[in-house]
A and B are shown apart, each in its own frame.
Chain A
Amino acid sequence: MNRTRIGFIGAGGIAQRHLGVLEQFDDVDLVAFADVDFDRALAAAARFGARAFGSHDELLSDESLDAVYICIPPFAHGAAERAVIAKGLPFFVEKPISLDLKFAEELAAKIDAAGLITGVGYHWRYLDTVEEARRQLEQRPAQLVSGYWLDQTPPPQWWWHQDQSGGQMVEQTTHIIDLARYLVGDVTQVFAMAGHRDRADFPGLDVATVSTASLRFASGAIGNIGSTCLLNWGHRVGLHLFAEGLALELTDHDIMIDVGAGRPVRHAEGDPVWREDRDFIDAVRGAPSCIRCSYAEALKTHRIALAINQSAQTGQPIDLAAR
């Protein structure tokens, strides 16, 4: 069988998530890993009989690939994507796509010009519960949106710093923003506030520890999304939607649909990352694309996340429709 040859740029935690899926596909060959930490690239390579590189440049010049997974921290985006696009290779990239909007827009234009297949790791779109929510909302579109990312502070130190992670709205809550866009439509206006408390266990942490954003959607719906990293456990990540005679609560593992006949909860089935990776690989292999979040689509979500940061900083509402 002709296997699709995949290279990884970045072999850290989120790469492992995709590797656990891709290794189940018998039409995929994981052939090369690049990481600034060579030993990490080596460990991944040694799992799969692949080659290891200390930089993406070596990986791209020395290995013949069909597609690339880019799994690097928010601050590291840039050179890797440019090099992959210059090679004309399809790629899957993890969110957030960049901290620099201009750069992401430049890339989106290049991807469009080259007609490249891309996928971005907004895997909530692949939850079967989200599909069910979409069906419900077709009949009764959401009018009020209430989103949450109420969680602990992640351990990697880069996450604690605004200039490296972009903060919680950009790094984590972006999943909820994307889900709101996917289920409710485009956002036209945001107004955000943010607050900060030092955390003794996280020296140097400078990101907002609480933030809230009000949103207006093109459909007329309105909503709010709140984030905090002040907890020492995961409390709630999810999106609540309200429509005529419908209350719907989504988390990353279940859905509750209340139409006035009790509050039945159903667990999500299957692995959304499996479906996400499968769609990407199928598209790379020439099947009609079923990818649910391309780079261009992710850029629309990312604009909102960055606008929320900007609004919190300036104290002014940001009109996205005018952009």
Chain B
Amino acid sequence: MVLATDSLQPSGLGEHMLTLAQSMSGRFDAVIAAGESEGGQGLLKSAAEAGLRVKAFEPYALQPFKTWLTQYADLLHVHAGIGWEGHDLTRIGKAAGLPVVRTEHLPYLLTSPVQQAEYRACLLSVDRVITVSRAAYDSFTSRHGVDSFALVLNGIEPKVSRGKRKDIRSSLGIAEDAQMVLTVARFTPQKGYRSLLEAVPKVLAQVPRSRFVWVGEGPEFPELGTEVREADLADAVTLLGHRADVPDLLSAADLVVLPSLFEGLPLVLLEAMAAGVPVVATRIGGSVEAVGEAHPFLAQPANADDLAAAIVAALSDPVAARIAAEAGRQRFDRTFKASRMAAETADLYSSLLPTPSSQPQVRSA
């Protein structure tokens, strides 16, 4: 099985690929394939460090990769961060004679007629499209019908924090009695940092001991850093950049906030739920699916007042926050474990592969 992406910055998507490959290792031998971009190389390194097989390809000269697929692969599973990614990969997979699966990590967001047409064309080379949330599934099937589409909810293998909460907080300069509000998301407009920045002073007005910690990289990072300083919020907001120790940061946090405008099924919410940390999310498809309709701390997207109110509500009512966190942990265990996602994905692969009797020697890659 080859899990491939040409996404330039496969962050959450890359994590998902690694989780899927590792969780399926009992049934399928997976190779992680990525383009020769900086982000792609980072993904390959993480995959190799996790003991997975890795394959690099040149995104604009895919012929050698196609040859390699023809020789070694049984199935190609393309992971697309957004609808316009991965089309060339699906085409060469089909041309290599392989069953092709494609996972959409976001809902249908294409607005340009050219991109929409390209997407329709791409479906011809895909045997099955996996969507990672019900909302995303609906957004695709309302346009393209249900035939090609499958719903496999995202799942994660929660990583355990190795550090002590007290040490981690002190390394971040966060006092014991402060309320640490953590956001882990790429710095792109999609993630809604701007409404969060606007919400920060409103939260501070009511919960003065709240401290915001933002983790991630992305195009908006420098600008938001400047805006935090200009708004005189540098004492309340810390931008950490990329961090490999998110489980530790989660264990130090009192609340996780994800202010996104749209999402597939956000991994960071699943991680927070698994870790039993209360979350504030926006009322958008994938996020609501993660935390559940009954979740008490939901805000309208791109609405700083509403976001601030939800954060204040969570921080000022520890009992309600604890109950919501426990409900989140149970919900995670029931629905979002990597093992369930891997089993469903593996079943989908099996349905596309030749049966052993018709092809006695299934190749190992």
Contact = CB atoms under 8 A, between A and B. Distances in A.
A103 interface: no
Interface stretch (A43-51, A80-88, A256-264): A43-51
B53 A45 contact: yes
B48 A49 contact: no
Interface in B56-73: 56, 68, 71-72
A38 B41 CA distance: 13
Interface residues of A, number: 17
B44 A42 contact: yes
B51 interface: yes
A26 B54 contact: no
A49 B365 contact: yes
B17 interface: no
Contacts of A41: 48
The interface residues of chain B, by DSSP majority, are classed as mixed
B52 interface: yes
A51 B45 contact: no
Contacts of B364: 29
B33 interface: yes
Contacts of A39: 45
Interface string A274-304: 0000000000000000000000000000000
A75 B356 CA distance: 49
Interface in B1-18: 2
A29 to B, nearest CB: 8
A271 interface: no
A31 B365 CA distance: 10
A52 B54 contact: yes
A51 B44 CA distance: 10
Contacts of A48: 55
A45 B54 CA distance: 6
B44 A50 contact: no
B76 interface: no
B98 interface: no
A62 B365 contact: no
Contacts of A49: 2, 31, 33, 53-55, 68, 72, 365
B53 A50 contact: yes
A38 to B, nearest CB: 8
Given A51-B53, A52-B54, A46 B44 contact: yes
A26 B52 contact: no
Given A42-B44, A42-B45, A46-B44, A51 B56 contact: no
A48 B64 CA distance: 11
A49 B21 CA distance: 14
Contacts of A45: 48, 53-54
Nearest to A49: B55
Nearest to B52: A51
A42 B54 contact: yes
A109 B2 CA distance: 43
Contacts of A46: 44, 48, 54-56
Contacts of A1: 361
A42 B48 contact: yes
Contacts of B45: 39, 42
Interface string B68-101: 1001100000000000000000000000000000
A23 B160 CA distance: 40
A38 B361 CA distance: 33
Nearest to A43: B56
Interface string A24-41: 001001010000001101
Contacts of A26: 71
A65 B55 CA distance: 19
A236 to B, nearest CB: 38
Given A42-B54, A45-B53, A52 B33 contact: no
A212 B365 CA distance: 52
B56 A47 contact: yes
Contacts of A50: 53-54
Interface in A222-276: none
A37 B16 CA distance: 27
A26 B68 CA distance: 11
B55 A51 contact: no
B51 A62 contact: yes
A47 B365 CA distance: 14
Interface of A: 1, 26, 29, 31, 38-39, 41-42, 45-52, 62
28 contacts: A1-B361, A26-B71, A29-B365, A38-B48, A42-B48, A45-B48, A45-B53, A46-B44, A46-B48, A46-B54, A46-B55, A46-B56, A47-B55, A47-B56, A48-B55, A49-B2, A49-B31, A49-B33, A49-B53, A49-B54, A49-B68, A49-B72, A50-B54, A51-B51, A51-B53, A51-B54, A52-B48, A52-B54
